[in-house]
């Protein structure tokens, strides 16, 4: 099956620094990728939809200047958490859309971000 | 707005027994997809089963089957012959079929424990 690689798996950073998370589709082209956030023992909440070659679409309440998304190629989307604060600590998951007559979504393994 | 409700925060089943996880959803759309995802302790999201709303036949995948009641907007997951490896968080999810990339809406999840 299709594979989505998400890196890093976990990251610890100091408050005020920026962190970049990468999401790669390894064996298919993904024109659309999605970024989710998951708090402990809670569901996945969609943050934004990343479209290759265009600006991301953010969900209501998500700060676009805080969570910068870049989808510069058909296999890579990045999420940068800028000026991270402890409240940004969370589990971030990406998914990539594969379209071959039927739409399938494949998830990355997630990134645990801890901001000190 | 579409909502997905999972009324069982936790469920427990003995190994080899059968368990049913409940899910209801609210939508005004007629064409949509429903999914069950499994999230084990590794936190990797794994697709368990999908159901197209236009299909009356309930989807099955080996030990996993669904009871899709479109009029009642109900989509339960039955796990037969439960195994220790089935222990995980299970999320019900909904996606409207617009012909373009559409976002998933997740329920709050049900934690399944499998006991010996």
Residue B98 C-alpha, separation from nearest chain A C-alpha, in angstroms = 11
- Best B45, B55, B90, B102 member to test A by mutation, with max A CBs in 10 Å, is B45
CB contact under 8 A, B45 and A32: no
DSSP per-residue string spanning A45-70: EEEEEEETTS--EEPTT--TTTEEEE
Nearest Cα residue in chain A from B97 = A103
Say if residue A72 is exposed, middle or buried (CB neighbours under 10 Å; 0-12, 13-18, 19+): exposed
What percent of chain A stands above pLDDT 90?
A: 72
Phi, psi of A3, deg, nearest 5: -125, 135
- Best A43, A48, A56, A74 member to test B by mutation, with max B CBs in 10 Å, is A43
Residue B64's pLDDT is: 98
Residue B30's pLDDT is: 85
Residue A82's pLDDT is: 97
d(CA B42, CA B64): 21
Long-range contacts of B18-21 (CB under 8 A, 24+ apart): B18/B78, B18/B79, B18/B80, B18/B81, B18/B82, B19/B78, B19/B79, B19/B82, B19/B112, B20/B67, B20/B76, B20/B77, B20/B78, B20/B79, B21/B76, B21/B77, B21/B78, B21/B79, B21/B90, B21/B92, B21/B110, B21/B112
d(CA A112, CA A13): 11
Question: Do A106 and A95 meet the contact criterion of CB atoms below 8 Å apart?
Answer: yes
Averaged pLDDT, A96-103 = 82
Averaged pLDDT, A72-81 = 93
pLDDT band at A115 (very low <50, low <70, confident <90, very high): very high
CB contact under 8 A, B109 and A42: yes
CB contact under 8 A, A97 and B101: yes
Nearest CB neighbour to A43, from listed B44, B103, B106: B106
Residue B101's pLDDT is: 57
Hey, is the C-beta of B52 within 8 angstroms of any chain A C-beta?
Answer: no
Task: Give the residue, A52 or A79, on which the prediction is more confident.
Answer: A79
Residue A112 C-alpha, separation from nearest chain B C-alpha, in angstroms = 10
Interface of A with B in 30-89 (CB under 8 A): 31-32, 34, 38, 42-46, 49, 51
Nearest Cα residue in chain A from B98 = A103
Point out the residues of chain B with pLDDT beneath 50. Answer: none
Residue B76's pLDDT is: 98
CB contact under 8 A, A109 and B42: yes
Averaged pLDDT, A65-70 = 95
Mean pLDDT of chain A: 92
Interface of B with A in 69-108 (CB under 8 A): 91, 101-108
CB contact under 8 A, A34 and B108: no
């Amino acid at each position: 099956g299709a594979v989505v690689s998400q890196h890093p798996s976990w990251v610890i950073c100091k408050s005020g620094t920026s962190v970049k998370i990468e999401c790669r589709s390894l064996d298919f082209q993904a024109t659309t990728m999605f970024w989710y956030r998951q708090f402990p023992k809670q569901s996945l909440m969609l943050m934004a939809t990343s479209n290759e070659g265009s600006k991301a679409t953010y969900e209501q309440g998500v700060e676009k200047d805080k969570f910068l998304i870049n989808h510069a190629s058909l296999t890579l989307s990045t999420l940068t958490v800028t000026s991270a604060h402890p409240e940004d600590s969370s589990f971030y998951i990406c998914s990539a859309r594969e379209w071959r007559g039927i739409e399938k979504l494949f998830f990355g393994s997630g990134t645990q971000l801890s901001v000190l | 707005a579409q909502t997905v409700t999972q009324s069982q925060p936790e469920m427990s089943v003995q190994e080899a027994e059968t368990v049913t996880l409940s899910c209801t959803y609210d939508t005004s759309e007629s064409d949509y997809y429903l999914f069950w995802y499994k999230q084990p302790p590794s936190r990797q999201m794994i697709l368990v089963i999908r159901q197209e709303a236009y299909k009356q036949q309930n989807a099955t995948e080996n030990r996993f089957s669904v009871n899709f009641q479109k009029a009642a907007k109900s989509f339960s997951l039955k796990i037969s012959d439960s195994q220790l490896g089935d222990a995980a968080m299970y999320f019900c999810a909904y996606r409207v079929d617009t012909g373009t990339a559409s976002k998933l809406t997740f329920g709050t999840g049900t934690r399944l424990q499998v006991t010996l």
